Amino acid sequence: MTAVEVVELLLVGFAAGLVSVLVSLASLVSYPALLGLGLSPVSANVTNTVSLVFIGMGSAAGSRSELAGTRRIVLRLGAVAAAGGAAGSALLLVAPAVTFQAVVPFLIGGASVFLLGQPYLARRRERRAAAEPWWRAPVLWIAMFGASVYAGYFGAAGGILVLAIMTAMFPQWTPHRVNAVKNVVAVFANGAAAIGFAGFGPVHWSFVVPLAVGFFLGGRVGPVVARRLPDNTLRVVAAGCGIAMAVKFAL
């Protein structure tokens, strides 16, 4: 690896860390960068997932006030996320690489459209808040497991799904608290997947270190920036970039 590539990965990691904290789309920045550096789709994905663990660590360090009093629920959500992440990593290792390449555009595009629809979904949740069916809580926990499987299989925009599910789980929480807990819970999903990839996946370890350092720094600064920037603008821009990227990958 050249010095230029190291600097590029540091900058990409920092930018992806910021994007992850702000709009939960870190992999839409880091994954294409790894592809551009010559890694295969599967190798880029597993290398990215191993490095993603450090975003949550950085975010936790910068979100102590938002995380106060959430330890118990973080551990419960983390256990579900870890199980899902492990299942997703196993799925990726078993499935043929060509299958993974074919499904990537749909994963990115679907997650980006889901991000665009967040305001509409939030309004629907508000209208239905007064009458919650008995099955709502179990379905949300199952959905959390499914989102974690997705995150373990392909990290791009997995945080968006988790964020939406957690917003439905804890409507009384502020958006900043939901986002902070989401970032920490993602450590469990990505960490479980990273263990499987480290043992059996084509991880490009020389890329992991500079990317992870950038992720950590971006995740550490992200909560500070998140308190000051207009979330709606960032959400629309990130979703638009994700849709454009999905079209590019499909072509």
Residue predicted with more confidence, 116 or 125: 116
The percent of residues in the chain predicted with pLDDT above 90, rounded, is 34
Domain count, the chain: 1
Does 232 have pLDDT greater than 70? no
Residue 134: what pLDDT? 56
Q: Report the alpha-carbon angle 207-242-37, nearest 5.
A: 25
Given pLDDT bands bounded at 50, 70 and 90, which one contains residue 29?
Answer: confident
Residue 157: predicted pLDDT:
65
Distances from the Cα of 172 to the Cα of 107, 114, 162, 244, 247, angstroms: 30, 22, 17, 34, 37
Reference 141, options 67, 87, 59, 83; nearest CA is 83
Containing structural domain, residue 147 = 3-250
Query: What is the pTM assigned to this prediction?
Result: 0.80
* Res 109: pLDDT: 81
Of 129-143, 182-196, 204-218, least confident by mean pLDDT is: 129-143
Q: Is the pLDDT reported for residue 82 higher than 70? A: yes
Q: Is the pLDDT of residue 129 over 60?
A: no
Mean pLDDT to the nearest integer, 82-89: 93
What are the tens digits of pLDDT across the range 52-66? 999 989 998 888 888
φ/ψ (deg, to 5) at 68: -60, 130
> Is residue 151 pLDDT above 80, yes or no?
yes
Selection from 171, 192, 168, 186 nearest residue 222 by Cα: 186
With beta carbons less than 8 A apart as the criterion, state whether 162 and 151 touch: yes
**Among the ranges 32-41, 159-168, 226-235, which has the highest mean pLDDT value?**
32-41
Cβ contacts of 183 within 8 Å, gap of 6 or more? 20, 21, 55, 56, 59, 60, 63, 159, 219
